[in-house]
A and B are shown apart, each in its own frame.
Chain A
Amino acid sequence: EIVLTQSPGTLSLSPGERATLSCRASQSVSNSYLAWYQQKPGQPPKFLIFGASSRASGIPDRFSGSGSGTDFTLTIDRLEPDDFAVYYCQQYDRSPRTFGQGTKVEIK
């Protein structure tokens, strides 16, 4: 199975700053079949990005995804208070679909 490793585990930033989250795959993810989700406590995950770089419906352009192969990045520009949450990457290239362990973006 494809193992996804996210870093850092926790990112401490202030509102207005840029967040850069990394997701590294143990094998190449074909066709950039990688998605990103945001999860807040007590809520289900929210779909942010698919195809490594395509924003889901209604997602502001402050959120951007990039990467290919084994290295992917989620960038959040100008952090807003509502952005502080846990972020997961997920690959859907091969079965089983797998998630990274998450990166927590917390207020500094």
Chain B
Amino acid sequence: QVQLVESGGGLGKPGGSLRLSCAASGFTFSDYYMSWIRQAPGKGLEWLSYISDSGSYTKYADSVRGRFTISRDNAKNSLFLQMNSLRGEDTAVYYCARENLVRGVTEGFDIWGQGTMVTVSS
């Protein structure tokens, strides 16, 4: 079935790095834009970044621009988020999500992974 599975979360130190991965299955990964979205404990949802289907176009939220890098490997049906210069406020559950494709236009996030927890602490 259509599925996204994140991995790579854990404890990171302030100023350190982590790399998240998202494995896609059950659909043609290379047809879809993909996003990373996070949720701090007890808080709402924050979109972080998206990448185009080919990987040639990316966009970031101001809160992570210059620190996080989104990428993908369509041959391996995988999405990545390289997180550098980690801060305490980056502590959150990180979700990868597929962008809903409707007649060539992306409309919302239709498939979400279960999330991976990132904790930034010394």
- A84 contacts the other chain (CB 8 A): no
- B102 contacts the other chain (CB 8 A): yes
Shortest distance between the CB of B107 and any CB in chain A (Å): 4
Task: Please pick, from A50, A57, A100, the residue contacting B44 in the complex, using a CB distance under 8 A.
Answer: A100
Task: Write out the residue numbers on chain A whose beta carbons fall within 8 Å of the beta carbon of B44.
Answer: 88, 99-102
Shortest distance between the CB of A22 and any CB in chain B (Å): 16
B 25-57 to A, binary, CB cutoff 8 A, 1 in contact else 0? 000000000010000000011110010000000
Helix, strand, loop or mixed for chain A's interface? loop
Interface residues on B, range: 20 to 34
Task: Write out the residue numbers on chain A whose beta carbons fall within 8 Å of the beta carbon of B62.
Answer: 96
CA distance A95 to B47 in the complex (A): 10
Contact in complex: B113, A44 (CB < 8 Å): yes
- A45 contacts the other chain (CB 8 A): yes
Task: Please pick, from A44, A88, A96, A102, the residue contacting B95 in the complex, using a CB distance under 8 A.
Answer: A44
Contact in complex: A35, B45 (CB < 8 Å): no
Task: Write out the residue numbers on chain B whose beta carbons fall within 8 Å of the beta carbon of A37.
Answer: 45, 109
Task: Please pick, from B46, B59, B109, B112, the residue contacting A35 in the complex, using a CB distance under 8 A.
Answer: B109
Task: Write out the residue numbers on chain A whose beta carbons fall within 8 Å of the beta carbon of B50.
Answer: 97
16 A-B pairs with CB atoms under 8 Å apart are A35-B108, A35-B109, A37-B45, A44-B114, A45-B45, A45-B112, A46-B112, A50-B100, A50-B108, A56-B108, A90-B47, A90-B109, A92-B106, A96-B47, A99-B47, A101-B44
Besides A50-B107, A88-B44, A90-B45, 18 new A-B residue pairs in contact (Cβ under 8 A), listed by A number: A33-B107, A35-B107, A37-B45, A43-B114, A44-B113, A44-B115, A45-B95, A47-B100, A47-B108, A47-B110, A49-B108, A50-B110, A56-B100, A56-B108, A56-B110, A90-B108, A98-B47, A99-B46
